[in-house]
Each structure stands twice: as C-alpha cells, then as structure tokens.
Structure 1
Amino acid sequence: MRLLFLSICLFFISFSNAQITINQSKNDNDLKLSALPYYSFGKGLGLTSPDSLFQLNIRFRMQNRVTYIENDGENGAYDGQIRRLRLRFDGYVGNPKFLYAIQLSFAPGDVGEIQEGENLNIIRDAVVFYRPNNHWNISFGQTKLPGNRQRVNSSGGLQLTDRTINNAKFTIDRDFGFQVHNMNEFKDKFSYNFKTAISSGEGRNSTDNPDDGVAVTGKVELFPFGAFSKDGTYFEGDVIREKKPKLMISGAFQQNNHARRTQGQLGNDLFEQRSMKSVLLDAMFKYNGWAAMTSYMSRTTNDNAITVNPLDISESNYAFVGNGFDYQLSYNTKTNYEFIGRYSIQKVGEDIKMFSPNTKQFSLGLTRYIWEHSFKVQGEINYDILDFYDGTSKNNWYLRFQVEIGI
C-alpha cells in the first residue's frame, strides 16, 4: 500500500507537467501590505465603484491533502483532509490610503475543535490600515505580528506542505493591536525595514477577562543587495529565478507580559500567567533557482515554566520554552520542478524536559509549480526522531501528497 501511495503521488506530480499558458495582467490590484504578505500571482476578483470611492478584491485558496502516517509503536494510518480553506477580502473605502483586509478560515484544521464556551476561530485577519505613502503602513486590528519569516509568509507560499516543528512551538502568530511598519525597499541597493507592534498578547479572537499585560514586538529586516523580485521575501523557493543574488537578514524580539497560554498567543491555557520573551532570527538567500533559508527561534519565561492548578496540585500545564534551528535548501528547475530538503532541531528548556522530548526532523519534498505558488502539486516525506528525558526515543514518519489552488 505504501508503494501504491507513493506511485500515485509521483504520477500526479508528473501529470502536472502538461503545458499550461496563463496570461497575467500587469495592472495587479494586490495591496502588497507588509503586515499581510499573502502570496498572489494574479489579480483575484476585483470590483471598483464608478466613483472610485470603494474597492473590493476577493480571493480564495484551498489545500487538499492525503497523508500516510506511521508513528513508532502504532499501526500505520491514512489521513485525508482539507487542510486549509480560506476566503479573503481587501480593498479601500473613500481613499486608497485607507485600506481594509479580512481573511476567514473554514477548514476544521484552521478553525479548531468546537468546544462549549469557547470562541469559534473563523476570523484570522480583520484589520484596517492607513498608508500615507509607500514607506509607512499603520494598522489597527487582528493580523499577524512581525515575527519569524516562515510564519509571516502565507501558508500558501511554502515549499513544503507545512511549516517547521520550531515554527509550530515558538512562533508568535496573530494578535489584536496596533502596528507601524516603515518600509525602505529598493531594487538594487541596500534596503531595510522596521516593524513594531503593541498587541494584547492573548492571540486571535480572545474574549478573556482583560488584564494589564500587553505584548511588545519589534523587528528589523536588512537587504544588503536590494529587495527581492516580485516581493520574493514573502514566499519560499526561487520560483522567480532571481537574476542577481538576493539576501535578507532579519531579527525580531517580543516580550509578552502576563501571557495566559502555553505558547503566548497560541496553545492551551496556563494555570498562572507567565511573561515570555521570544527571539526570532532569520536569513534567506535566492539566486538562479537556488534558495536557502535558516532560522533560530527561542522562548524563555520570567519564572518557572510549569504552572500548577491551585485547586488540584496533581494537575499542571507549562509554557513551552526552549529553542530550535531550521535549515532549508532547494533548487527550482527551468521546468518548475523544485527539489527541497529541510532539517530542524528542537531543544526544550530545562523546566519542561521531563514533559516534552527534544526533536529532530528531516524532510524531503518535490513540488511542481503550475501557476507559481497559486497552483502547485506537492509530495513530501518527513522523518522525526523524538528523544525523551528517560533515555527512550521514538521514530515517526509520514508521506504526503497535496494540491494547492487559489486566486
């Protein structure tokens, strides 16, 4: 069955080699907002009022996947699902300097399990912008924070079918608040961006009782050789085939005061609040079909990461502290077949090493770009090594086939 599954994956990737001609308009109405780096190849479906006082642009995308999973000590299993189904609206009202963006999610893996008394997480982005010129973006609402590169990138702009294990544990994700971005990107000379945010620290769609803790985030991005072509910072792989070497180096820091969840903006509830500090470093290089990425992520707390239920001391939960490195290398051929390799290593903090293993992850992928990242077929094999505190280890792996399409 495993060989049959692999054969089907390879068949569909090969089948997608059929020649498809797509004409793209040069009058792209994509907003290109720095806080919302959605990947887009075309214009979407756009409507503008006759008096040009209102614009609405509609986009959708979906990811359909099937996975064969084999975890150590368990029987193998197949999982088929709609991993993501998104609907996005953006545009302006009254004046192109005043913009809005809304993104909704509908797949179970995006929305999360429906539980009594908890919010339904359909809303991913709901944010208004003031953009006085090309150098400044000022926003208010719920959207992604200026965090690590892979999280800031849309999931539609990934080379492999999912982000890394370190992104899953150490990212700072979405939050509600204010952001100010100063953008200074130029084609062939040194460029730089400064991004800041003050947010609630509670994550998306939170309606918990208010407290006096906020999250403060700052990020610097440097481009020694100038900006990437077609906003290439915001998607993985060199699908554009950069004609000159391009490099980005970035660093972000966040302090989330009185966080209530195990991963700051994400995770389950803690029994006591913890203030958390996150450091997020990234580098990206692209040239002539080659692309390389590396990142470092860490989280620490102001106190012991473990929290205990005061009503039942046998019950506890912990903030996920530790650090991790990711390394990713790829080559995209002239026929738009991309070969990707990734290695991740994650080390948990001393406070929680009895509860969570250190992990190594190896991933190999093959992607066929039909319409750049907007229509692609992906195959991936992933192998995890989990090393536990008691000296035992587990080896898990999966094989996955995924199709992504969107406008």
Structure 2
Amino acid sequence: MKKNVLLILLFFCLTDAFAQIDIKRTTKDNDLKLSALPYYNYGKGLGITSPDSIFQFNIRFRIQNRATYMQEEGEEAAIDGQVRRLRLRFDGYVGDPRFIYAIQLSFAPGDVGEIKEGENLNIIRDAVIFYRPNKHWNIGFGQTKLPGNRQRVNSSGGLQLTDRTINNAKFNIDRDFGFQVHNQNEHPDKFSYNFRTAITTGEGRNSTDKPDNGLAYTGKVELYPFGSFTKDGAFFEGDLKRETTPKLMVSGAYQYNNKARRTGGQLGDDLFEKKDMKTTFLDAMMKYNGWAAMAAYMKRSAHDPITFNPNDATDIKYIFTGSGFDYQLSYLFPSNYEIIGRFSTQKVNRDIAALAPDTKEYSIGVTKYVWEHAFKAQMEFTLDDMTYLDNTSKQNWYIRFQVEMGI
C-alpha cells in the first residue's frame, strides 16, 4: 500500500514538473528545445541568455605568447619568452538590456605588474556598468579605458604590430575610475560624429591611496567625414574588412589631471609631490581596399615636473613632459598576409632634457591573419635611436615573434 502511494505521488510530481517546462520541436532540424534551459550563442565569445531574458552573460578570452631577441647598445644580447597577456572578459546585462556590465581580468605578469608591499594586485582592468537609454547615449560608472588616444582605446589584440608606440607608452592616459558619458552618432554612408567625456579620480586603476579632492577631466571628439567604418573598423588596425569606399576618422582629446600622484597621471611611479598635468591627443585613421594609414600626435605638459624626495635630494621622480608623432602604413594582401611600417618621433621638454633622451623608433612587421585579429601570427623588427642632451646617442633593437589567439 505504501509503495503504491509513493508511486502515485512520484507520478504527480513528475507530471507537474514537466508541465512547467515548455517543450518545443523546431521544424528546421527536428530538435527538442526546453524553455527551462538557457539560450546559447557563438558570436564574439560564448554567450548565454536566460530563458526569461532577465540576464545575458558572455565570456571571452585571449592570450598573447611572444619570443623576443633583443640587443641594447653596450649590453649583452638577450632572449625573452613570456605570456605577454592573458585576459578574461565578461559582459552582458542584468534585468534590462539597457543596463550593461563589462568586466576584464588580467593574469599575465606583464599585465599585473610587480607585486609591491602595501600595494594592490592589479588583476582588475575593467569593471564598469553602462546605461544605454537609446542608441545615441552611453552613461558609464566604474573602471574602464578613458577616451584618450586611438591606439590605447583600441584593444592590444587589435594591433598590427606586437606593441604600441613609444609615444603611447609615455603619454597615454589608460584606465581610471569614475563617470563617463558618450554621445554616438554613426552612420555608414554619411558624415558621423561622436562626443565622449569623463570625470574620474585621476589615480589610475585599482587605486586605494588616501582620497583627495583632485579629479581628472577628459573630453574627446571623433569625426567620420565619409561615414563610419565597417563593423567598428575604427577600433582595430589594418583594413581587414577591405573598405569598398575610402573611410576616414579624425579625432582630438584633452585631459586635465588635477593633483596627479603618478609620473604619468594614471600610470607610473608615485611622485613625491602632487602635480597638475595636461595631455593632448590628435589622431587620424584612413582605410580603403586593403590599405590602412594612421597618424597621431601626443603632448603632455606640467609646471615644474620634477619632484624631490624630502629626505634625499638626490632621489627624484618626474612627469614625462614632451610631445611625439606616430606614422603607420600597411597593406593587406588577399592571402591575409599584411606588411606594416611605422615611424615614431619623441621629443622631451627642456625641463627634463637632462633626464630623458629624444627618441626615434622604426618598425617593420609582417602579420598573418588566420581568423582576423582573434588568431594571428606576427613578426616584427624595431629599432630605437636615442639622442641625449650631451649629444651622445644609443641604439637598441629587437626581433619579436608573437601569436595571438582568442574568442
């Protein structure tokens, strides 16, 4: 008797459970679809959407493995092999598709940086929430990239050569925590423009230093005279989409960082004294039928940029003030091999001329795209020619092979 009762109860439980699951048979492939299971998509990464569309979760990864043979003048040649970047990215929405989150974590030593006592481990690169009320407006709060120079705004995975320029290394404003507002007005076949602004702490990513009342103010304007690039082509280098008509982007950005604590504003070592600094960026990018050209100008200025240790006058930290130009040209063959040439000049301001050299950098590279920028192999040769205040000079060069893979 007890067994019969249990069987009857089990039967009704199973019946009720299956009644809550909507089972559908698709006409295309005669496959069964259960409404209680999430929906998957395979676009940029692996995406999962809940059956009631309350949330969406997308996961992506990428790795950069490189080997470098380098020769610095006056030093013994060296060979370096490393995982330059290892990233995990998560994005999607919760509750409402207008509320979007983006998370990016880094794990490679070159990304995390040296672990110092009393400082944070820099695993978090991006942790930001965006509200998009319509296609024209993005309002962000959190930590992410600032609207600075084009090469920094682009992902390192979207570069044609294995690394960014010497000017990007010295003048870029990278990431920060705060508020951002973007107004986007892009059209594929007519004049387009974007405005981007940010008010942030000015301390860079993952800062837990004692708070102060200094902030960084950033603004940027982007113009597309002939319409926007195909499939967000302004956010990766090289004409991988082979634009059928000429496409051009010109942009300008400016940041004022009040009471900056670091030598590079959001980046670098801590200064012995807080300083105000101003940074200007001008960029241009053009693509057509496999050809791609880029040019950039960067400048940073600060009043009295050298700071001294109050306990040791010989110990100094300084803001890298100066300016630089970058020029880059490439052609993508139908075989998906690409040749790239780049030339950069960097001139330091007089107030730090005794501390840093003027530099010219020459780079040539070949890239084979297996799956666009997501899977590619790169070979690069770069020469740095440095001239010091006393008219002495020094040359360093390297040859590098790099493989990038991700989804």
Q: Give the TM-score of the pair, scaled to structure 2.
A: 0.89
Partner of 1:215: 216
Q: Does 1:321 align with 2:301?
A: no
Task: Tell me how far apart the structure 2 counterparts of residues 202 and 356 of structure 1 sit (CA, whole Å).
Answer: 24
Partner of 2:343: 343
Partner of 2:262: 261
Task: Tell me how far apart the structure 2 counterparts of residues 152 and 93 of structure 1 sit (CA, whole Å).
Answer: 26
Superposition RMSD in Å: 1.0
Partner of 2:356: 356
Three-state SS of the structure 2 residue aligned to 1:313 is strand
Partner of 2:54: 53
Three-state SS of the structure 2 residue aligned to 1:110 is helix
Partner of 2:72: 71
Whichever residue aligns with residue 286 of structure 1, its letter is: K
Partner of 2:374: 374
Q: Does 1:125 align with 2:126?
A: yes
Partner of 2:35: none
Summarize deviations over 1:286-336 as a string: whole Å, max 9, x none: 0000000000000001x2110011122121110110000000000001111
Task: Tell me how far apart the structure 2 counterparts of residues 133 and 266 of structure 1 sit (CA, whole Å).
Answer: 33
Whichever residue aligns with residue 128 of structure 1, its letter is: I
Partner of 1:13: none
Task: Tell me how far apart the structure 2 counterparts of residues 349 and 305 of structure 1 sit (CA, whole Å).
Answer: 10
Summarize deviations over 1:81-106 as a string: whole Å, max 9, x none: 00000000000000000010100000
Summarize deviations over 1:9-32 as a string: whole Å, max 9, x none: xxxxxxxxxxxxxxxxxxxx99xx
Three-state SS of the structure 1 residue aligned to 2:314 is coil
Whichever residue aligns with residue 307 of structure 2, its letter is: T
Shift in Å, 1:270: 0.5
Task: Tell me how far apart the structure 1 counterparts of residues 256 and 43 of structure 2 sit (CA, whole Å).
Answer: 38
Three-state SS of the structure 2 residue aligned to 1:314 is strand
Task: Tell me how far apart the structure 2 counterparts of residues 209 and 287 of structure 1 sit (CA, whole Å).
Answer: 49
Partner of 1:395: 395
Summarize deviations over 1:111-152 as a string: whole Å, max 9, x none: 001111111000000000100111100000000000000000
Greater CA drift, 303-312 or 269-278: 303-312
Q: Give the TM-score of the pair, scaled to structure 1.
A: 0.89
Partner of 2:102: 101
Shift in Å, 1:43: 2.7
Whichever residue aligns with residue 288 of structure 2, its letter is: Y
Task: Tell me how far apart the structure 2 counterparts of residues 114 and 170 of structure 1 sit (CA, whole Å).
Answer: 24
Partner of 1:156: 157
Task: Tell me how far apart the structure 2 counterparts of residues 393 and 239 of structure 1 sit (CA, whole Å).
Answer: 39
Partner of 2:330: 330
Task: Tell me how far apart the structure 1 counterparts of residues 392 and 266 of structure 2 sit (CA, whole Å).
Answer: 31
Task: Tell me how far apart the structure 1 counterparts of residues 311 and 217 of structure 2 sit (CA, whole Å).
Answer: 32
Q: Does 1:383 align with 2:380?
A: no
Task: Tell me how far apart the structure 1 counterparts of residues 248 and 239 of structure 2 sit (CA, whole Å).
Answer: 12
Shift in Å, 1:266: 0.3
Whichever residue aligns with residue 405 of structure 1, its letter is: M
Task: Tell me how far apart the structure 1 counterparts of residues 178 and 157 of structure 2 sit (CA, whole Å).
Answer: 24
Partner of 2:237: 236
The aligned runs of 1:19-38 (5 Å cut-off) are: none
Partner of 2:177: 176
Shift in Å, 1:42: 3.6
Summarize deviations over 1:165-191 as a string: whole Å, max 9, x none: 000000011000000000000010000
Partner of 1:191: 192
Partner of 1:288: 289
Task: Tell me how far apart the structure 2 counterparts of residues 395 and 381 of structure 1 sit (CA, whole Å).
Answer: 13
Task: Tell me how far apart the structure 2 counterparts of residues 88 and 231 of structure 1 sit (CA, whole Å).
Answer: 19
Q: Relative contact order (C-alpha < 8 Å, sep 6+): which is higher?
A: 1
Task: Tell me how far apart the structure 1 counterparts of residues 321 and 112 of structure 2 sit (CA, whole Å).
Answer: 25
Shift in Å, 1:394: 0.5
Shift in Å, 1:108: 0.1
Partner of 1:111: 112
Partner of 1:143: 144
Partner of 1:245: 246
Three-state SS of the structure 2 residue aligned to 1:95 is coil
Three-state SS of the structure 2 residue aligned to 1:263 is coil
